Structure 1
């Protein structure tokens, strides 16, 4: 990956379609609900990009991307997409892709062993957690064996925070409980794992100020600005991005729910200082990921 040739690094892209084999049963209804929430037709059956499609899209735009699946099979019943398959395709597209993985922390010691193997044998650079989809509080000690493995391997963690489009508008929210994704739960994790980088994903509605508080207080906590069009960013997020957290804010789109084309176009129109824009779009990620 030639970082100097890239215009940006997107730290939040999803491997939504299976690399091998058909979609899981029930997945179409879930994706249709996501498409309605984000006003994005990509969620219709057969229209989501594969990992290889994603690589081609990002390469055309000269944008690097962090890509990951989400292991939520215990809570949702949807079969997870294999971390190894996503990492292998990312390795074939290493000029543009950085592989993260996802492991349900309820897998305990087995999950910790998997994390070590993925870092050592597959070049995985970080791990994605979605507390609402995975049904756990991030500061639950149940998750600590997995965090210990990740921290010891020198990898990054990325946690969904705030409200989610997953299950939005569906009966009972598809069983998704928003309480798990309050970013304040990550404050404990940042204390207990002070050398493990933690990315709080998304503007953390309705807990935006909690997220900003944790990120300003804990040196190892960052914020990615994915999942929302920048034109909807709350003023306090823009204020901190321009000042106290200018070295800790990261560009993320939430592909394919939101495309980088849309995100970057709207980002051009908000009041981010000229000297801060390159930090958010590329430089901060380059430093954090040691690229």
Structure 2
């Protein structure tokens, strides 16, 4: 198993030490954050030390972009992380592998634009059933963006078996499907290539 370490921009140096420990001592392969939970957009300066530490540790950071849903009736958080906000981060940290997860809904085209513009920006298609993926995103992952999209489910939000069936229904080219389901994750998370055996053709 390979985990992602959750990060908190309000913890200062403590967070940077915790992240280093999680990667070097516990074997975590990346960082993960939901900017909405902190009511803090991803291009806010409080996040920048974390991005710098991710570069130093050579790990990607995965973050929710798009709208924030209501997970509890008594907790309604603002949506602070439109995909376009990844633009300045990718410019400031060209070495940082950024994964915008949850499709970017309802700004999926904005998420595609960021992944197309920046070599270090990727799209995670989790949290929404694949049958509901926007046509523009399906086209992107089946053509010029097949190397920039990572399959995911946000389990238990989406059952993995259902997700695999619905991805198959999109009839992606075999090469594109292989990249989305496996190869892109191995490139974005290099330690995974060592932990999972190579496929047998």
Given candidates 76, 79, 83, the residue that maps to 1:175 is 76
Structure 1 counterpart of 2:20: 116
Matched, 1:219 2:119: yes
- Using the TM superposition, give the Cα deviation of residue 274 of structure 1 relative to its aligned residue in structure 2, in angstroms: 2.4
Is 1:197–1:220's contact at 8 Å kept on the other side of the alignment? Answer: yes
Matched, 1:99 2:3: yes
Matched, 1:273 2:177: no
Matched, 1:207 2:111: no
Classify the secondary structure of the residue corresponding to 2:99: strand
1:273 and 1:164 mapped to 2: Cα distance? Answer: 32
- Using the TM superposition, give the Cα deviation of residue 151 of structure 1 relative to its aligned residue in structure 2, in angstroms: 1.1
Cα deviations across residues 86-128 of structure 1 (Å, max 9, x unaligned)? xxxxxxxxxxx11111011111222111111211111111011
Look at both structures and tell me which one has the larger radius of gyration over its CA atoms. Answer: 1
Classify the secondary structure of the residue corresponding to 2:162: helix
Matches within 5 A, 1:209-248: 209-248=109-148
Structure 1 unmatched runs, 5+: 1-96
- Using the TM superposition, give the Cα deviation of residue 260 of structure 1 relative to its aligned residue in structure 2, in angstroms: 0.7
2:102 and 2:144 mapped to 1: Cα distance? Answer: 18
2:38 and 2:156 mapped to 1: Cα distance? Answer: 20
Scaled by the length of structure 1, what TM-score is found?
A: 0.63
1:166 and 1:121 mapped to 2: Cα distance? Answer: 35
Larger RCO of the pair (alpha carbons < 8 Å, separation 6+) = 1
Matched, 1:288 2:188: yes
Classify the secondary structure of the residue corresponding to 2:175: coil
Is 1:251–1:281's contact at 8 Å kept on the other side of the alignment? Answer: yes
CA RMSD of aligned residues (A): 1.3
Structure 2 counterpart of 1:189: 89
Given candidates 19, 30, 47, the residue that maps to 1:126 is 30
Structure 1 counterpart of 2:197: none
Is 1:238–1:271's contact at 8 Å kept on the other side of the alignment? Answer: no
Deviates more, 1:159-168 or 1:211-220: 159-168
Corresponding residue pairs, total:
191
Structure 2 counterpart of 1:160: 64
Deviates more, 1:265-274 or 1:212-221: 265-274
- Using the TM superposition, give the Cα deviation of residue 165 of structure 1 relative to its aligned residue in structure 2, in angstroms: 3.6
Deviates more, 1:212-221 or 1:102-111: 102-111
Structure 2 unmatched runs, 5+: 194-201
Cα deviations across residues 254-289 of structure 1 (Å, max 9, x unaligned)? 101111111111111114222211111111111221
Classify the secondary structure of the residue corresponding to 1:211: helix
